[in-house]
Structures are given as structure tokens and as C-alpha cells.
Amino acid sequence: MIFKRVWATTSVVALTGAVLLTSAPNASADYIRDKQWVIDVINFKKVWSESQGQGVTVAVVDTGVDGSHPDLVGQVLKGKNVTGNGEEAQDDTDGHGTGMASIIAGQGHGVNNSSGVIGLAPRAKILPIKAANVDDFNDDQWANGIRYAVDQGADVINLSFTDSLASPGSEGAKAIEYAQQHDAVVVAGTGNDGIDELPYPAKLPGVVAVGAVDESLDVWDNSNYGDGVTLVAPGVNIVEADPSQSSGYSNGTGTSDATAYVSATAALIRAKYPDLTAGQVINRLIKSATFLDRKVKRVPDEEYGYGLIRPYSALTMDIPKGPKQGPLAQSSQSSSANSGTASRDDDNTNQAKKKKSSSGNIFLIAGVAGAVVVAAVLFAVIRSRRNGRGGGPGPGGGTSPQGTGNLPQPPAGYQQYPHAAAPNQGYPTPPGQSPQHPNPYAQQPPHQGQ
């Protein structure tokens, strides 16, 4: 059965022109790395001192993953194509799956891996599950893909799409339940329509439902909200590998990208704490999250869920393991009871909560308001990935014009970040904090419970 499906990435802007997929001038390579604002905000180097995702497999159920992309060479396992079209799991003409994989486990390329896209968990392995040919998903097929991934030992399963037919009792829901029974962390995007409704599979019990925040760490206006949001993560202006573009790169925005960052964080936790169950990994994700200075009166909040991910805190905080099933399994039985026990201090749960409107109504972090990551670059082309299937566009669906233009060359006098290898890691040292993106994590906001 063909389902109504919407990408959890709304738009992708091609990064073309100066940047080449294989051999590129240093300026161009640094230009790609320079645009990765999340490196500064999360402080990848600090996170990598605790974990790089080693020994963990993340299944990316998507359009396939191009393992020949320079930033993913050696990172992608064989995987499986469940579409029946005769292609390999590493055939990705759409580029969406490759983009998600690069956010999770990209390791860059070139000297000291200082060029291209670097992922948050660069030593995790990607298991590609090709479940779509551009936009043709099949409910039974992607469900079979999840089961295959579980049987191959996947520790984390990334679902950067929505499916209006994946309700309880569907093949997709049964496959996700199978994954949870076999101790896999399942992560899905909340969708990109800016409405008070979560889609499937994100709102299925036990699934980590992820919304997106922008460069100021405000909830992105088009991120769906409401009951069931678990966490938020960066999802605006995210540079990712993209074999569908002549440059090999694109700039994506949507809850797809945020989902990939949460999957990467789960991989980091599983690498450092291999004895934790999937539920206990989710517990650590939730209890290390933060609302920064956002005012909420009930936890989980309808927009932020349990808060913004903090990968380093997730790896280092003193957090009891908790029940094997984790907080989401408990919440599915009694949301009101567990909202008071799901790792939030009383002062946080009693704070006033803002109404949904625009990011301007959220209290901004000092020094972050108005931050714009690509001030010198004009994006000319928008590629929509919000196509609907099965009877018309899904919620917020439809197709925007697909562009073919090129990104302008880096401006004259463009200064690259000085990249260097991180000690004993073989990965580049992230750029220093720039005036555009002071690190809000460094402000050490109160954590959300122990």
C-alpha cells in the first residue's frame, strides 16, 4: 500500500559552483566546514573526548545512502534495498538519506579530515535501508526495512519522514514495536507544517519525536508541536552531503535534520554506555536536555518536549539508569503522572509557558538573538521534499519548484577557519566560537533534573 508521506526536510538549497565533490581547493573545502554552525554550538571536540559513536550501528531508513561520497567512505555498511527496484542500498539519486547519514556519521575528507561534512558521531556505522525511490515509499516495504535493520543488530533507527498511515496496528507500527522489543532506539521527526499535531510514526509509543530549532535555538516556526514532542535539536540551515547535487553538498532545513542529530546523540550514548537499554538511553537523552531560559509550566512542553539536546551532558551527567523501559514507555501509560517524574525540577515545571506563535515570543539567549549563520552567502535555489503520496499531498505537503541554480562563489577575501587534528582522534578541531554564534551551551543553564 502506498502511504501518504511527507519528508521531514522541507527544503534543500544546493551548494554548488565553487565546491567540488572529490578534489576541491582548500578554500572551498573550508567553506563547507565553515558553514556547519552546529559544530560550534554543540562543541563537537568536547563531545568527542567522551564518545565518537564507536561500535554503534545507526540504521537510516530513507532513500539509500551513497557510501562513495568522500565524507562517508568507510562509514556505510551494505544494507538492503526493500523497494524491489533492483538497485543497491547505496544508490541514492534523491540525496535525502545520504544527507541524514552525513549528519550522523560523516567524517569529512582530506588532510586531517578537515574538509566536507563532519557528523556528530563520526565513528558510528551507517546501515542504509533504501525504502524509497525519491518519493515513492511503500508501507510494507519500509516496515520490512526496519525489521531487517533490527535483525542486523542496529542500535539506533533513524526515520526522517512522516507516514499518515503508520497508526497503531499498521505494519509500520508493528515493525517499530519489533525494534523496541529488540532494544533499538527509534527516532522520528515531528514534521514541518507548524501545526499542533504530531504525525506518525513520531507519535507512536516509545518513539523519540524530534522537533527542530534554528540558529538562535528557538523552535523553528514550521516544526510541528503538541502532545508527544520528546526533544528538539538543530534543524535549520544544516549543511549535509547530497549526491543529487553537482557539488555533492546541500543546505537543508527541517525536522529530518534534527532527527539525525538526536540519532547521533543516541549513538554516542550507546557507545559509552553499552550496558544501557534503549529506554535507558532515551532516559539519559531526556534528563540531560535543557530549556535554557525558555519558560514552561508543564513538562513535556508542547514545543520543546523535554528540552534541547545536550550531547556532552548526556555523556557526562550523573544520571541513574532508571527503569529498563525508559520514560517514554511510562509516559504512554500515564502522561500526567510521569510529567512530574520525567526528570524535571519543580521550579521548571512551575514556570509560565509561552503560547505558540513565532520565535520572537520566546525569551532569547543573551548573545544569540539575531544570529545568522550564512550572512555572506545568497541561497538561490530551494528544493522541496514535502511531496505527498497516496491520494494527494500530506499535511503541509505539495511540491515547491525544484531549483537548478548554483550557490555563488565564496566572497573575495573569504577567510577559512584554521583546521587542525583533534588530539588522538584524527578528526579536525572545530572552529573557535565566532561572534555570530556564541555557544549558548557554555552558559551552563540549569539542567533538567538528575
Res. 400 pLDDT band, cuts 50 70 90: very low
- pLDDT attached to residue 8: 54
Catalytic residue among 28, 34, 66, 96: 96
Determine the pLDDT at residue 435: 38
Q: CB–CB of 394/7 below 8 Å?
A: no
> And the C-alpha cell for 410?
565564496
Model pLDDT, residue 430: 42
- What sign for the dihedral angle of Cα 24, 29, 32, 38? positive
In this predicted structure, what is the pLDDT of residue 94?
A: 93
Tell me, which fold does domain 5-443 have in CATH?
Rossmann fold (3.40.50)
Q: What is the mean pLDDT of residues 424-444?
A: 40
Reading the block at residue 120, the C-alpha cell is 556528530
334 pLDDT tier (thresholds 50, 70, 90) = very low
Q: Can you name the residues that pair with 137 across neighbouring β-strands?
A: 132
More confident residue, 432 or 50: 50
Q: Name which of 160-169, 323-332, 401-410 the model is least confident about.
A: 401-410
Catalytic site residue 437?
no
Name the pLDDT band for 423 (thresholds 50, 70, 90): very low
Cα distance between residue 312 and residue 290, in whole Å: 12
**How high is the pLDDT of residue 348?**
37
Residue 195: predicted pLDDT: 97
Given a cut of 60, whether residue 338 has pLDDT beyond it is no
Local confidence band at 304 (pLDDT 50, 70, 90 cut-offs): very high
83: closest CA among 59, 64, 110? 64
pLDDT confidence of residue 151: 98
pLDDT tens-place string over residues 10-62: 555 555 332 322 233 333 346 899 999 999 999 999 999 999 999 999 999 99
More confident: 427 or 123: 123
370-384: average pLDDT: 34
pLDDT of 436 higher than 60:
no
Given pLDDT bands bounded at 50, 70 and 90, which one contains residue 138? Answer: confident
Torsion angles phi and psi, residue 61, rounded to 5: -90, 105
Q: What is the mean pLDDT of the chain?
A: 75
To the query of whether residue 96 is one of the catalytic residues in this protein, the response is yes
Write out pLDDT tens, residues 55-102.
Answer: 999 999 999 999 999 999 999 999 999 998 888 999 999 999 999 999
Query: Is 447 a catalytic site residue?
Result: no
pLDDT tens digit sequence for 96-133: 999 999 999 999 999 999 999 999 999 999 999 999 87
Residue 107, judged by CB atoms within 10 A of its CB (0-12, 13-18, 19+), counts as: buried
Segment 325-331 mean pLDDT: 81
| Distance (Å, whole) CA 101 – CA 58 | 9
Percent of all residues in the chain with a pLDDT value above 90, rounded to a whole number: 61
Q: What is the pLDDT of residues 344-363, one digit of tens each?
A: 333 333 333 332 222 333 22
Stretch 135-162: mean pLDDT: 91
The more confident residue out of 430 and 51 is: 51
Q: Which residue has the higher pLDDT, 258 or 377?
A: 258
pLDDT at position 234 over 50: yes
| pLDDT given at position 280 | 98
Residue 295 has a pLDDT of: 87
What is the average per-residue pLDDT within 372-394?
33
Where is average pLDDT lowest: 153-162, 303-312, 433-442?
Answer: 433-442
Identify whether the C-beta of residue 94 lies closer than 8 Å to the C-beta of residue 134.
yes
Check pLDDT > 50 for residue 418.
Answer: no
pLDDT tens digits, residue range 269-284? 999 999 999 999 999 9
Average pLDDT over residues 195-218: 97
Mean of the pLDDT values across residues 308-317? Answer: 98
From CA 310, how far away is CA 290, in angstroms rounded?
A: 7
How far apart, in whole angstroms, are the C-alpha atoms of residue 173 and residue 161? 14
Of the residues 247, 256, 288, 331, only one is catalytic, namely 256
So what's the pLDDT on residue 393?
A: 27
